[in-house]
Every structure is written in C-alpha cells, then in structure tokens.
C-alpha cells in the first residue's frame, strides 16, 4: 500500500506537500518546529508533526476490522488514512464522531420516513372522509380540513426530516 502524501503548514509560509520521511527528517534535524501543522492527503484536520512521528504522545483508539472483526489499535491523528489489517483487509481509519453523526442522521431520516407515511395515511383519511360525506348523500361536498391539514403538515415535516441525512 502506498503511504499517503502529506502537507505541511509552517508559520508564515504557504502550505506545501511533503513526504512522511521528509517530516521525520525535518523533526529530527530541527527545521520543522512544534508550531508547524501537518495532515495527510486524506485528512481535513491539522495536527502536530511531533505527534505524527512519535516524538510526542498522541491519543489512540480501537476499532473493529469489518472483515475479521478483530480490534485494531490506531491513533486518532490517523483518521481517514488507509490501513491494512493483519488479515489483509484494506480499510480507512474511522472517525468516531463523524460515524456517530451519520448514525444520528440515519435515525432521523428513518423517523422522518415513518412520519411521512403516517402523514399520507392521515391525509388520505381526510380526503376519503370528504368523498364519503359526498357519497353519503349530503347536498354539498364536505371537505374534512382537519385530517387533510394535519396529514399535509406531518408529510411535509417527515419529508424534511428524511432529507436531513448528510
Ligand atoms: Zn481484519
């Protein structure tokens, strides 16, 4: 697997591409200081080059390999990077916060769909009641506004919720 390309943002300089060995070398020789920030091409957040090369402690995290289900230990600063499990499966280091957010969005989307279905049922009930009132022999067509309105509101808000998924 090809190691990811990195970017470095040094104080007062524009961000520039760099290879991992270049960061290791720069930290070792002192031309990369603690005020610099780095990220890989797969990441949208910056962190210390000292943490990247292991000169400073960095928080770790565990997650299960989707193929062999074994727990893998990784660093939080490796989120988004591709890694290979001992079983050979290639995967991306997950972002626990982002995964939780997408899980919540999915739940909201499902709840929204349920509400939408219920809204349609209520609305249909309102329309059927209106038609039934006509069929029952009333002289005028009685629109049952309550259920039609409530059904429409439910359907619309359910539709909005179901679209909340990012
Ligand atoms: Zn595995």
For residue 119, the model assigns a pLDDT of: 84
- Centre of ligand 1 from the C-alpha of residue 149, in Å: 53
Q: H helices of the chain, where?
A: 20-29, 49-52, 96-135, 145-162
Determine the average pLDDT of the residues in 49-65: 93
Determine the average pLDDT of the residues in 147-158: 86
State the chain's mean pLDDT as an integer. 86
Q: Which of the four pLDDT bands, split at 50, 70 and 90, describes residue 138?
A: low
What's the token pair of residue 54? 């292991």
- Centre of ligand 1 from the C-alpha of residue 44, in Å: 26
142 burial level (CB within 10 Å; 0-12, 13-18, 19+)? middle
**Is the full-model pTM beyond 0.75?**
no
Cα(109)–Cα(159) distance, rounded to whole angstroms? 9
Q: Which of the four pLDDT bands, split at 50, 70 and 90, describes residue 79?
A: very high
Q: Which of the four pLDDT bands, split at 50, 70 and 90, describes residue 12?
A: confident
- Centre of ligand 1 from the C-alpha of residue 87, in Å: 4
- Centre of ligand 1 from the C-alpha of residue 134, in Å: 66
- Centre of ligand 1 from the C-alpha of residue 89, in Å: 5
- What is the number of other CB atoms lying within 10 angstroms of the CB of residue 74? 15
Whether 27 and 53 have beta carbons less than 8 Å apart is answered as yes
- Centre of ligand 1 from the C-alpha of residue 61, in Å: 16
For residue 50, the model assigns a pLDDT of: 95
Give the residue from 124, 142, 144 showing the smallest Cα distance to 134.
142
Give the residue from 118, 109, 100, 119 showing the smallest Cα distance to 160.
109
Domain boundaries, the chain: 6-94, 97-162
- Centre of ligand 1 from the C-alpha of residue 115, in Å: 39
């Amino acid at each position: 697997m090809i190691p990811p390309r990195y970017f470095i943002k040094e104080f007062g300089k524009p961000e520039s591409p760099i290879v991992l060995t270049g960061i290791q070398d720069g930290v070792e020789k002192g031309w990369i200081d603690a005020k610099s920030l780095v990220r890989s091409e797969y990441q949208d957040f910056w962190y210390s080059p000292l943490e990247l090369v292991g000169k400073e402690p960095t928080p770790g995290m565990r997650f299960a390999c989707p193929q062999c289900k074994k727990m893998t230990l990784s660093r939080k600063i490796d989120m988004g990077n591709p890694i290979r499990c001992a079983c050979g499966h290639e995967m991306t280091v997950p972002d626990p916060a982002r995964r939780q957010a997408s899980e919540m969005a999915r739940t909201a989307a499902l709840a929204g769909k349920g509400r939408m279905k219920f809204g349609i049922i209520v609305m249909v009930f309102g329309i059927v009641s209106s038609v039934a009132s006509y069929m029952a022999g009333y002289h005028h067509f009685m629109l049952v506004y309550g259920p039609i309105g409530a059904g429409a509101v439910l359907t619309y808000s359910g539709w909005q919720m179901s679209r909340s998924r990012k």
